[in-house]
Structure 1
Amino acid sequence: MLTLDKIYHAAFVLKKVARKTDLIRATKLSKQCELYLKTENLQETGSFKLRGAYYKISQLTEEEKSRGIIACSAGNHAQGVAMAATQSGIQSLICMPDGAPISKVEATKQLGAEVRLVKGAYDDAYATALQLQEDTGATFIHPFDDDEVIAGQGTIGLEILDELENPDAVVVPIGGGGLISGVAYAIKHLNPNVKIYGVQAAGAASMVKSQQEGTPITLDQAETFADGIAVKHPGDITYQLVEQYVDEIVTVSEDEIAAAILALIEKQKVIAEGAGAVSVAAVLFHKLPVEGKKVVCIVSGGNIDVNILSRVITRGLLTSGRNVSLTIALTDKPGQLQEVSEIIARCGGNVVSVHHDRSDANMAITSCFLKLGLETRDHAQIVQIQKELTQAGFHLVSERV
């Protein structure tokens, strides 16, 4: 059973392995609130998961350790289990979905675990791990639905209250619910006035749907690039704790997550994976009532695959109004491109690509489409450019913001 004493005991055990990560003031991210970032992305394994995994393994009996350890994970719990097991001299086998980022798979192997890739999502890897556990008798380390694991994650709540006096709200990513359960339990017992808000990806909102149904449900699919929180079924223990201690849960879109990742990189020099950035996305896109409040966002992990980082940044630029593509119908005569360029330059935009298309069968023979890629400051600047082009007599066929 989860208790505050157990969370304090976990904090004592974790002193030698888990960093007390910095709580930094994010002055450049939000003007609506006094925002702080709890940087669990700077943890030894790149996420908070080390806390719960290590504490759970530390509490196993010698007989349980002797049977070896098996776990399932989208990547972050895998690294926590692998590191904790290896340091304790225990063999570990981790089942991971075959779509897990290569960087997380390789990092897990380097930490000493055997990795088995399973076709499908996290829940498919979970089913395979349970079957292997039954076949081999190994000790199963659940990624979130376990009191000791939750207690380990709850140490983050103790650290937040130690690092910041009287926060008004703490915003926490939710996948299976282990992180928010531990954090909410710790904080609500020590300062019940603090609001605890959870955030899920809209494409994997299993906890939100479970609350709507009044019982833990299983989604048909979990579709999000925030693989660390792509969970179809929340925990039974965590569901009950969330119901009791969490004030509100909201969802954010893929574009909003990408924009948050970009903002963290550009304005705070912080690298977050999708799951780690959802808390910040909820604040940036005004999903929560935090105006004028002292708010902590837990950046739960930074293990983003560099192969998709450039695509995430591109999506973030589009969502934030930093890039736009315009298509303009022109009469094909000299001087048109110069006039368009002068308007864009006068508005402060930067042309990065130009395509002159005369081949569309639907246009007049004497016409063409001018397709431009622009770097812009924000959505307001895009609107200004569109307005001035229209006032100058140019016809905008389409724009992609």
Structure 2
Amino acid sequence: MSPQTSPAPLETSAWTGPTSLEAIRAARASIEAWIVETPLWAWRSPTLSSRRETDTPVWLKLELLQRAGSFKPRGALTVMRTLDADALARGVTAISAGNHAMAVGYAAQVLGTTAKVVMPNNANPGRIEGCRRYGAEVVLVEDVHAGFRRVEQIAADEGRTFVHPFEGPLTALGTAGVGLELIEQARAAGTDLDAVIVPIGGGGLCAGVAAAVKLAAPNCEVFGVEPIGADSMHRSFAAGAPASIDAVRTIADSLGAPYAKPYSFELCRANVDELVLVDDDQLRDAMRLLFRDAKLAVEPAGAAATAALLGPLRARLVNAKVGVVVCGSNIDEASFAALLGL
């Protein structure tokens, strides 16, 4: 696929991360040709009202409808838009359980470059196939720890630019567009949100969304949610510095970052009001409710924020107007059915 027409270049001053609404808007405009403004949908139903003990709707930010099936192209494109012609000619590389790898493949396709992506060999088969559909070369490894070593080797040997799955000012600047859209779309619908719930893997999504929410709506609380089996940000907050986990032990493999990194950690620490944990049973329950009640087929990571709303945050946010980021839906039919026992 040939590269598409590029929008106007972003001013250099905007490449410093999500430090202002103007920077976030400029970054969003610079990738507008290749992403969509995903809908914000007011979820209302008797079942939801019964579960929350309130008739207040939940505002779902439907990033599962983004290009490549998740929020990830926002960060990948914001990073890759800065590459010069020589870097684009050498191509890019990435490490991911799937969503970031697919996003980098998609971004490489529309920007006219090539991608070699590293994935754990237990990655969802639908995501592996999705990467290949976007033209990416897929390298399978034992686990994410081996994957990070392999991707560094590829970058060194082939001169490819490493597009990190969650760390850095450009990634956060891209994902901040999710938070700004959420606040502005809610206001356009006549609602000022009291809280926003964001899934955390490595923290790139939460870092950007939290920064944007606090800039656009300072009184809105931001909650980050992690699976119990991949709690690197919880450990980092407790330690006061980026921390790691030895292995990923959750069905939400998209949230299975092996460690936190300094930039996303500091941005989350500055803007996230509280972190909560959910277990795999809560993730399955939220997936089932979203499927049956909201008619959304999401991967486990895409259900994490809903699981937090209906679990550890239920009593606290019972009467709150809440925005929930549904971050992705890259899962094959067999895996989805198996997880829910369908």
Q: TM-score, length-normalised on structure 2?
A: 0.89
User: How much identity, in percent, do the aligned residues show?
Assistant: 35
Out of 89, 95, 98, the residue aligned to residue 72 of structure 1 is 95
Specify the alignment match of 1:303 in structure 2.
Answer: 330
Out of 156, 164, 177, the residue aligned to residue 203 of structure 2 is 177
Quick one: distance in 2 between partners of 1:16 and 1:109?
Answer: 22
**Which one-letter code corresponds to 1:158 in the other structure?**
L
5+ long unaligned stretches in structure 2: 1-15
Cα contact 1:119–1:125 (8 A) shared by 2: yes
Task: Give the deviation of 1:311 after TM superposition.
Answer: 2.3
Task: Give the deviation of 1:63 after TM superposition.
Answer: 2.4
Out of 193, 200, 207, the residue aligned to residue 226 of structure 2 is 200
**Which one-letter code corresponds to 1:115 in the other structure?**
V
Out of 96, 101, 124, the residue aligned to residue 101 of structure 1 is 124
Task: Give the deviation of 1:39 after TM superposition.
Answer: 0.6
Specify the alignment match of 1:158 in structure 2.
Answer: 180
Task: Give the deviation of 1:50 after TM superposition.
Answer: 1.0
Specify the alignment match of 1:56 in structure 2.
Answer: 79
Quick one: distance in 1 between partners of 2:222 and 2:57?
Answer: 16
Specify the alignment match of 1:354 in structure 2.
Answer: none
Cα contact 2:224–2:272 (8 A) shared by 1: yes
Cα contact 2:166–2:205 (8 A) shared by 1: yes
Matched, 1:34 2:57: yes
Task: Give the deviation of 1:305 after TM superposition.
Answer: 2.7
Q: Where do 1:109-124 residues align within 5 Å?
A: 109-120=132-143, 122-124=144-146
**Which one-letter code corresponds to 1:138 in the other structure?**
R
Quick one: distance in 1 between partners of 2:179 and 2:145?
Answer: 27
Task: Give the deviation of 1:34 after TM superposition.
Answer: 3.2
Q: Where do 1:280-299 residues align within 5 Å?
A: 280-287=306-313, 289-299=316-326
**Which one-letter code corresponds to 2:43 in the other structure?**
A
Task: Give the deviation of 1:307 after TM superposition.
Answer: 2.0
Task: Give the deviation of 1:23 after TM superposition.
Answer: 0.7
Specify the alignment match of 1:90 in structure 2.
Answer: 113
Matched, 1:229 2:255: yes
Matched, 1:272 2:268: no
Out of 143, 163, 166, the residue aligned to residue 141 of structure 1 is 163
Task: Give the deviation of 1:26 after TM superposition.
Answer: 1.2
Q: Which has the higher strand share?
A: 1
**Which one-letter code corresponds to 1:235 in the other structure?**
K
Cα contact 2:24–2:174 (8 A) shared by 1: yes
Matched, 1:22 2:39: yes
Greater Rg by CA: 1
Task: Give the deviation of 1:62 after TM superposition.
Answer: 1.8
5+ long unaligned stretches in structure 1: 318-401
Quick one: distance in 1 between partners of 2:147 and 2:172?
Answer: 21
Matched, 1:219 2:245: yes
Residues 166-222 of structure 1: CA distance to partner in whole angstroms, max 9, x if unpaired? Answer: 111100000000001001111111211010100000011110011111111111111
Task: Give the deviation of 1:41 after TM superposition.
Answer: 0.7
Task: Give the deviation of 1:25 after TM superposition.
Answer: 1.0
Residues 85-141 of structure 1: CA distance to partner in whole angstroms, max 9, x if unpaired? Answer: 111111110011111101000010110110101111x33312210122112221111
Specify the alignment match of 2:11 in structure 1.
Answer: none
**Which one-letter code corresponds to 2:331 in the other structure?**
I
**Which one-letter code corresponds to 2:89 in the other structure?**
S
Q: TM-score, length-normalised on structure 1?
A: 0.76
Cα contact 2:75–2:172 (8 A) shared by 1: yes
Quick one: distance in 1 between partners of 2:236 and 2:38?
Answer: 32
